Amino acid sequence: MTNIWIESLKNKYRFEFKGLINIEDLFDLKLEDLDTIYRNLKKQEQELEGDSLLETKDNPAKAEIETKILVVKEIFNMKQVEIEANKRALANKAQKAKILAIIENKQDQELSEKSIEELKEIYDNLG
Q: What is the pLDDT of residue 49?
A: 78
H helices present in 1-127, as ranges: 4-10, 23-26, 31-48, 60-112, 116-125
Cα dist from 41 to 63, 99, 123, whole Å: 12, 48, 72
Cβ(23)–Cβ(8) below 8 Å = yes
pLDDT tens digits, 67-86: 999 999 999 999 999 999 99
56: region left, alpha or beta (phi > 0 left; psi from -120 to 50 alpha): beta
Residue 21 bridge partners (DSSP): 15
* Residues of the chain scoring pLDDT < 50: none
pTM over 0.75: no
